[in-house]
Amino acid sequence: MTTTTSTQGAALVTASARAHHRAATRAARRRFLRAIFVAGIWFWAAWALLVLSLPLIVERWGGEADGLTYDAAGGPVRWVAFAVGAVVTAGTLTVHVAAGGTRRSFVDGALRAAAVAGPVLGALVVVLTLAERGVYAALDRYWQGPSAPLGVDTPTGVVVQVVGEALVVVTYLLVGVAVVAGYRRLGAWRGTLLVVPLLVPCALADLATRTGVFGIPLRGGYDDVVLGVVGTVGGTLVAAALAAAVARRMLHTVPFRP
Protein backbone atom coordinates (compact mmCIF):
# COMPACT_ATOMS: atom_id res chain seq x y z
CA MET A 1 0.00 0.00 0.00
CA THR A 2 2.80 2.38 0.93
CA THR A 3 4.66 1.56 -2.28
CA THR A 4 1.54 2.18 -4.36
CA THR A 5 0.88 5.50 -2.64
CA SER A 6 4.50 6.60 -3.16
CA THR A 7 4.32 5.65 -6.83
CA GLN A 8 1.08 7.56 -7.30
CA GLY A 9 2.51 10.56 -5.49
CA ALA A 10 5.61 10.56 -7.71
CA ALA A 11 3.41 10.29 -10.80
CA LEU A 12 1.34 13.27 -9.67
CA VAL A 13 4.47 15.32 -9.03
CA THR A 14 5.83 14.43 -12.46
CA ALA A 15 2.53 15.28 -14.15
CA SER A 16 2.36 18.58 -12.29
CA ALA A 17 5.93 19.46 -13.28
CA ARG A 18 5.20 18.68 -16.91
CA ALA A 19 2.06 20.79 -16.89
CA HIS A 20 3.97 23.66 -15.31
CA HIS A 21 6.71 23.35 -17.93
CA ARG A 22 4.15 23.41 -20.75
CA ALA A 23 2.50 26.51 -19.31
CA ALA A 24 5.85 28.29 -18.92
CA THR A 25 6.84 27.29 -22.45
CA ARG A 26 3.57 28.72 -23.83
CA ALA A 27 4.16 31.97 -21.97
CA ALA A 28 7.67 32.31 -23.43
CA ARG A 29 6.41 31.38 -26.89
CA ARG A 30 3.77 34.13 -26.75
CA ARG A 31 6.36 36.74 -25.82
CA PHE A 32 8.68 35.76 -28.65
CA LEU A 33 5.86 35.46 -31.19
CA ARG A 34 4.44 38.85 -30.29
CA ALA A 35 7.84 40.48 -30.65
CA ILE A 36 8.81 38.83 -33.92
CA PHE A 37 5.48 39.50 -35.60
CA VAL A 38 5.41 43.14 -34.54
CA ALA A 39 8.99 43.58 -35.76
CA GLY A 40 8.19 41.57 -38.87
CA ILE A 41 5.23 43.75 -39.85
CA TRP A 42 7.34 46.91 -39.75
CA PHE A 43 10.25 45.18 -41.46
CA TRP A 44 8.25 43.78 -44.37
CA ALA A 45 6.30 46.99 -44.88
CA ALA A 46 9.56 48.92 -45.21
CA TRP A 47 11.27 46.35 -47.42
CA ALA A 48 8.28 45.85 -49.69
CA LEU A 49 8.15 49.61 -50.23
CA LEU A 50 11.89 49.75 -50.93
CA VAL A 51 12.12 46.71 -53.21
CA LEU A 52 9.06 47.59 -55.28
CA SER A 53 9.68 51.32 -55.52
CA LEU A 54 13.42 51.31 -56.20
CA PRO A 55 13.24 50.08 -59.83
CA LEU A 56 10.47 52.60 -60.54
CA ILE A 57 12.55 55.43 -59.10
CA VAL A 58 15.63 54.35 -61.04
CA GLU A 59 13.55 54.04 -64.21
CA ARG A 60 12.08 57.50 -63.65
CA TRP A 61 15.52 59.11 -63.49
CA GLY A 62 16.91 57.25 -66.46
CA GLY A 63 19.06 54.78 -64.58
CA GLU A 64 19.08 50.99 -64.68
CA ALA A 65 18.90 48.41 -61.89
CA ASP A 66 18.91 44.63 -62.13
CA GLY A 67 17.18 43.64 -58.90
CA LEU A 68 18.27 41.65 -55.85
CA THR A 69 17.73 44.59 -53.49
CA TYR A 70 16.80 42.27 -50.62
CA ASP A 71 19.54 39.76 -51.40
CA ALA A 72 22.14 42.50 -51.68
CA ALA A 73 21.43 43.39 -48.04
CA GLY A 74 22.21 39.82 -46.97
CA GLY A 75 18.65 38.59 -46.37
CA PRO A 76 18.10 41.02 -43.48
CA VAL A 77 15.03 39.35 -41.97
CA ARG A 78 17.40 36.90 -40.27
CA TRP A 79 18.90 39.79 -38.32
CA VAL A 80 15.42 40.83 -37.23
CA ALA A 81 15.04 37.34 -35.76
CA PHE A 82 18.45 37.67 -34.10
CA ALA A 83 17.48 41.03 -32.59
CA VAL A 84 14.17 39.65 -31.31
CA GLY A 85 15.98 36.75 -29.65
CA ALA A 86 18.40 39.13 -27.98
CA VAL A 87 15.89 41.79 -26.93
CA VAL A 88 13.25 39.41 -25.58
CA THR A 89 15.90 37.49 -23.64
CA ALA A 90 17.39 40.64 -22.17
CA GLY A 91 13.98 41.99 -21.20
CA THR A 92 12.02 38.96 -20.04
CA LEU A 93 14.32 36.11 -18.96
CA THR A 94 14.51 37.25 -15.34
CA VAL A 95 10.74 37.82 -15.22
CA HIS A 96 10.15 34.40 -16.77
CA VAL A 97 12.22 32.62 -14.11
CA ALA A 98 10.81 34.76 -11.29
CA ALA A 99 7.30 33.74 -12.37
CA GLY A 100 8.22 30.07 -11.95
CA GLY A 101 9.49 29.28 -15.43
CA THR A 102 12.80 27.59 -16.13
CA ARG A 103 15.66 28.26 -18.50
CA ARG A 104 14.64 25.18 -20.45
CA SER A 105 11.04 26.37 -20.87
CA PHE A 106 12.36 29.74 -22.03
CA VAL A 107 14.47 28.17 -24.79
CA ASP A 108 11.65 25.79 -25.71
CA GLY A 109 9.29 28.75 -26.01
CA ALA A 110 11.75 30.60 -28.22
CA LEU A 111 12.21 27.52 -30.40
CA ARG A 112 8.47 27.02 -30.84
CA ALA A 113 7.89 30.68 -31.62
CA ALA A 114 10.61 30.59 -34.27
CA ALA A 115 9.13 27.38 -35.70
CA VAL A 116 5.82 29.22 -36.18
CA ALA A 117 7.24 32.53 -37.43
CA GLY A 118 9.97 31.01 -39.59
CA PRO A 119 7.74 29.53 -42.33
CA VAL A 120 5.70 32.76 -42.47
CA LEU A 121 8.82 34.88 -42.92
CA GLY A 122 10.26 32.36 -45.36
CA ALA A 123 7.12 32.49 -47.48
CA LEU A 124 7.25 36.29 -47.46
CA VAL A 125 10.81 36.17 -48.82
CA VAL A 126 9.51 34.19 -51.80
CA VAL A 127 6.54 36.55 -52.24
CA LEU A 128 8.86 39.56 -52.21
CA THR A 129 11.14 37.86 -54.75
CA LEU A 130 8.25 37.13 -57.11
CA ALA A 131 6.89 40.66 -56.69
CA GLU A 132 10.27 42.14 -57.58
CA ARG A 133 10.46 39.91 -60.63
CA GLY A 134 7.01 41.11 -61.68
CA VAL A 135 8.02 44.77 -61.40
CA TYR A 136 11.07 44.23 -63.60
CA ALA A 137 9.01 42.28 -66.12
CA ALA A 138 6.47 45.13 -66.25
CA LEU A 139 9.30 47.59 -66.91
CA ASP A 140 10.78 45.23 -69.51
CA ARG A 141 14.07 45.26 -67.62
CA TYR A 142 16.60 42.50 -67.06
CA TRP A 143 16.24 40.79 -63.66
CA GLN A 144 19.18 38.67 -62.57
CA GLY A 145 17.16 36.37 -60.32
CA PRO A 146 17.29 35.69 -56.59
CA SER A 147 20.17 34.49 -54.49
CA ALA A 148 18.39 31.27 -53.54
CA PRO A 149 19.40 27.60 -53.25
CA LEU A 150 17.38 26.50 -56.29
CA GLY A 151 15.56 29.57 -57.56
CA VAL A 152 11.81 30.10 -57.46
CA ASP A 153 10.78 28.87 -60.91
CA THR A 154 9.68 25.43 -59.70
CA PRO A 155 7.58 24.20 -56.76
CA THR A 156 10.63 22.37 -55.43
CA GLY A 157 12.67 25.56 -55.48
CA VAL A 158 9.94 27.49 -53.68
CA VAL A 159 9.52 24.84 -50.97
CA VAL A 160 13.27 24.53 -50.45
CA GLN A 161 13.65 28.29 -50.11
CA VAL A 162 10.76 28.57 -47.64
CA VAL A 163 12.08 25.70 -45.52
CA GLY A 164 15.63 27.02 -45.68
CA GLU A 165 14.62 30.57 -44.72
CA ALA A 166 12.40 29.23 -41.93
CA LEU A 167 15.29 27.30 -40.38
CA VAL A 168 17.57 30.31 -40.82
CA VAL A 169 15.09 32.33 -38.74
CA VAL A 170 15.07 29.61 -36.06
CA THR A 171 18.87 29.58 -36.00
CA TYR A 172 19.34 33.32 -35.78
CA LEU A 173 16.68 33.81 -33.10
CA LEU A 174 18.22 31.15 -30.87
CA VAL A 175 21.71 32.55 -31.40
CA GLY A 176 20.36 35.93 -30.30
CA VAL A 177 19.21 34.24 -27.08
CA ALA A 178 22.64 32.66 -26.62
CA VAL A 179 24.52 35.91 -27.19
CA VAL A 180 22.60 37.73 -24.43
CA ALA A 181 23.11 34.74 -22.14
CA GLY A 182 26.84 34.98 -22.87
CA TYR A 183 26.93 38.61 -21.79
CA ARG A 184 25.01 37.83 -18.62
CA ARG A 185 27.32 34.97 -17.76
CA LEU A 186 30.67 36.51 -18.65
CA GLY A 187 30.23 40.27 -18.60
CA ALA A 188 30.89 42.86 -21.29
CA TRP A 189 34.46 42.06 -22.37
CA ARG A 190 34.42 38.28 -22.35
CA GLY A 191 30.84 38.24 -23.60
CA THR A 192 31.90 40.28 -26.63
CA LEU A 193 34.77 37.89 -27.34
CA LEU A 194 32.27 35.02 -27.24
CA VAL A 195 30.01 36.54 -29.90
CA VAL A 196 32.13 35.30 -32.82
CA PRO A 197 32.10 31.58 -31.89
CA LEU A 198 28.40 31.85 -31.02
CA LEU A 199 27.73 32.96 -34.61
CA VAL A 200 28.96 29.62 -35.99
CA PRO A 201 25.38 28.22 -36.35
CA CYS A 202 24.44 31.38 -38.28
CA ALA A 203 27.38 30.87 -40.61
CA LEU A 204 26.38 27.24 -41.19
CA ALA A 205 22.80 28.29 -42.01
CA ASP A 206 24.00 30.94 -44.46
CA LEU A 207 26.41 28.55 -46.16
CA ALA A 208 23.73 25.86 -46.44
CA THR A 209 21.25 28.24 -48.10
CA ARG A 210 23.97 30.19 -49.95
CA THR A 211 22.36 33.41 -48.75
CA GLY A 212 23.11 36.01 -46.11
CA VAL A 213 26.41 37.60 -45.18
CA PHE A 214 28.26 34.35 -44.56
CA GLY A 215 26.94 32.79 -47.76
CA ILE A 216 28.37 35.45 -50.08
CA PRO A 217 31.29 33.23 -51.27
CA LEU A 218 28.80 30.59 -52.46
CA ARG A 219 26.22 32.87 -54.07
CA GLY A 220 24.56 31.43 -57.15
CA GLY A 221 22.63 28.44 -55.86
CA TYR A 222 23.17 24.72 -56.26
CA ASP A 223 23.75 23.20 -59.69
CA ASP A 224 22.00 19.93 -58.79
CA VAL A 225 18.43 19.77 -57.45
CA VAL A 226 19.03 16.79 -55.15
CA LEU A 227 22.19 18.37 -53.77
CA GLY A 228 20.28 21.62 -53.29
CA VAL A 229 17.50 19.93 -51.32
CA VAL A 230 19.87 17.91 -49.15
CA GLY A 231 22.37 20.73 -48.68
CA THR A 232 19.79 23.38 -47.83
CA VAL A 233 17.40 21.39 -45.66
CA GLY A 234 20.03 19.18 -44.05
CA GLY A 235 22.47 22.02 -43.46
CA THR A 236 19.92 24.36 -41.91
CA LEU A 237 18.53 21.56 -39.72
CA VAL A 238 22.03 21.00 -38.36
CA ALA A 239 22.47 24.74 -37.84
CA ALA A 240 19.14 25.07 -36.01
CA ALA A 241 19.85 22.04 -33.80
CA LEU A 242 23.29 23.42 -32.95
CA ALA A 243 21.80 26.84 -32.14
CA ALA A 244 19.22 25.23 -29.82
CA ALA A 245 21.95 23.25 -28.04
CA VAL A 246 24.13 26.34 -27.67
CA ALA A 247 21.23 28.45 -26.34
CA ARG A 248 20.36 25.80 -23.75
CA ARG A 249 23.99 25.49 -22.72
CA MET A 250 24.51 29.22 -22.41
CA LEU A 251 21.32 29.74 -20.39
CA HIS A 252 22.02 26.82 -18.09
CA THR A 253 24.24 28.78 -15.72
CA VAL A 254 23.04 32.35 -16.28
CA PRO A 255 23.16 34.15 -12.92
CA PHE A 256 20.11 36.02 -11.66
CA ARG A 257 20.79 39.02 -9.50
CA PRO A 258 18.10 40.55 -7.30
Tell me: the pLDDT tens digits for 224-239?
778 888 888 999 999 9
13 within domain boundaries: no
If one counts the domains in the chain, the total is 1
12 within domain boundaries: no
Residue 121 contacts residue 33 (beta carbons within 8 Å): no
Neighbours of 120 (CB within 10 A): 16
pLDDT in tens, 171-190: 999 999 999 999 998 888 98
89 within domain boundaries: yes
Task: Read off the pLDDT band of 138 (50, 70, 90).
Answer: confident
214 within domain boundaries: yes
19 within domain boundaries: no
- Show the domain range for 61: 25-252
5 within domain boundaries: no
115 within domain boundaries: yes
Element (H, E) at 116: helix 103-138
CA angle 132, 137, 139 (to 5 degrees): 100
pTM: 0.88
Q: Which of 73-77, 109-113, 141-145, 245-249 has the lowest mean pLDDT?
A: 141-145
CA dist list (Å): 171 to 36, 51, 108, 189, 246? 14, 25, 13, 24, 10
16 within domain boundaries: no
